Amino acid sequence: MDFKDISSRLKANREQTSTSEPREMDYEESYRIRGKMIGVLLRDARTNAGRSIEDCARVVRVEPEQIEAWEYGDRVPSLPQLEILAYYLDVPVSHFWSMETLGGDQHSSPRDAQREYMALRDRMIGVLLRQAREDQNLTLEAVSETSHIPVDVLTSYELGELSLPMHELSVLAGLVRKNTNYFLESSGHIGHLLAVREEWSHFTDLPEEIRQFAADPLNLGFIEIAIMFKQMPTDKLRRIAESMLEITM
């Protein structure tokens, strides 16, 4: 039984209840259908995220058979369990009581997409590394001598033929005078998500008083004024400060 069949049966049941003579509600059937719907939506979110049943079982700390039972609608997870799964599978928790699937391409494998992404990123990092090395007028031999990484391995890194381990990337970034952030993804969905997470990390490091001020929608005007001041030329900002000083004297 697919999601459309379950959804249509539930809809038909509602319409029959509203148009026909009043009859006793079949709660058992209603619960069964809703359980099936949650199972279909759970499987939909899991496959769309490229996660296995075992992955989800580890996150929720249940046996894989429990996840299978949920997806078949034989059993139903609790709200806290769905909240954890929603976070892990990167979907809103409301997805599990919606009437729509994610609609991903069922013919393509998320794992294949991940491999293609990582291969592309390896090539991009290699290009950036080579460009930064050449900007510093460093030869592969000179970098190899300092980093103790063989020349042939460095060449494979720059061509994107090998994934560059993080500890070696940190050393190479220092040699070419670049911050590690220079090599981060800066575009696309993943790049945007990583940037937002970095910004959120900086925000949570602010003093509590400043966080509360910035989070209050009523203070948006003050923040916009601060942004305007920051974008003003120094001489104009100085004149404004002098004018404010004259008013207060």
Domains of the chain listed by start with CATH number: 3-97 (1.10.260.40), 110-183 (1.10.260.40)
* Per-residue pLDDT at 242: 77
* Per-residue pLDDT at 225: 86
Q: What is the pTM of this model?
A: 0.44
pLDDT in tens, the chain (249 residues): 445 555 555 555 555 554 445 556 567 777 888 888 899 999 999 998 889 999 999 999 999 999 999 999 999 999 899 999 999 998 888 888 877 777 654 444 555 666 777 888 888 899 999 999 999 999 999 999 999 999 999 999 999 999 999 999 999 999 999 988 888 766 555 556 666 666 777 888 889 899 889 888 888 888 888 888 888 888 887 887 777 777 766
* Per-residue pLDDT at 137: 95
| Three-state SS sequence of the chain | CCHHHHHHHHHHHHHHHHHCCCCCCCHHHHHHHHHHHHHHHHHHHHHHHCCCHHHHHHHHCCCHHHHHHHHHCCCCCCHHHHHHHHHHHCCCHHHHHCCCCCCCCCCCCHHHHHHHHHHHHHHHHHHHHHHHHHHCCCCHHHHHHHHCCCHHHHHHHHHCCCCCCHHHHHHHHHHCCCCHHHHCCCCHHHHHHHHHHHHHHHHHCCCHHHHHHHHCHHHHHHHHHHHHHHHCCHHHHHHHHHHHHHHHC
